[in-house]
Homo-oligomer: A and B are copies of this chain.
Amino acid sequence: MDKLPLVLDLSGTFVFALSGALAGARRQLDLFGVLVLSFAAGNSGGITRDLLIGAVPPGAISDWRYLGVSLLAGLITFYGSLLIVRMSNAILIFDAAGLALFAVTGSSKALAFGLNPVMATVLGMVTGIGGGMVRDVLLAEIPTVLRADLYAVAALVAAAMVVIGHMLQLPVAPVTAVALISCFLVRVVAIRRGWRLPVAKINERVDPDKDSGRS
């Protein structure tokens, strides 16, 4: 029972590493590039959180199992990309589970390091979305999470639940369960129904620079 957090964390790492490896393979990276993307997608969120709260060296650096799980996901994807591509709907579901796991473990760890409730919630979300953001930056793309269907909001919901439960001193196990299930459901329903956040309306006549990307 004591090892449950580690098992959950490694499971999340594995699923996110699959998403990183798949993105890398699609962009024709070589074997090493695919493995780097696996590790980056699986661990950047947690490493960022750990650097920001002062947990150095980060778990993903001091414990080799995070690397091991990431490389396993990368190798499976590289040599079995046919399988992974066919399973990509299933992977979206796994990814929703990974997001829930990371948001919960991330906000718990931030609370344990003494962060205030607001920033612990934010760091839970960062743990969940950081891996995908670094994956996309390494592929020279605008991170999907900045324009996608309620991805970050789902992580935020779970992280906020953990933090509120902590402040009200509710028992940890049921709060964790409810947070995990809520994040997972928000994300899966958002995918199914295509729910999205609104997009800014910038009128081209008003803003001739619109597409220049300069601020």
Contact = CB atoms under 8 A, between A and B. Distances in A.
Interface of A: 19-20, 22-34, 36-37, 47, 51-54, 56-58, 61-62, 64, 67, 77-78, 81-82, 85-86, 88, 113, 115-116, 118-119, 122-123, 132-133, 135, 137-148, 152-153, 196-203, 206-207, 209-215
A61 B123 contact: yes
Number of copies: 3
B135 A215 contact: yes
Nearest to A212: B26
B61 A26 contact: no
A53 B213 CA distance: 32
Contacts of A148: 30
B27 A152 contact: no
Contacts of A47: 52
State the majority secondary structure of interface residues on A. helix
A26 B146 contact: no
B67 A57 contact: no
A213 to B, nearest CB: 5
Contact of A81 (B53, B58, B196, B200): B200
A213 B26 contact: yes
A152 B61 CA distance: 18
Report the 6 A-B pairs with minimum CB-CB distance, sorted nearest first: A33-B146, A25-B200, A54-B56, A30-B197, A23-B215, A64-B118
B67 A58 contact: no
A60 to B, nearest CB: 9
25 contacts: A23-B214, A26-B211, A27-B142, A28-B199, A28-B200, A29-B146, A29-B147, A29-B199, A30-B147, A30-B196, A30-B198, A31-B197, A51-B56, A52-B61, A53-B57, A57-B113, A67-B118, A82-B206, A85-B206, A133-B138, A138-B143, A140-B140, A140-B141, A140-B142, A141-B213
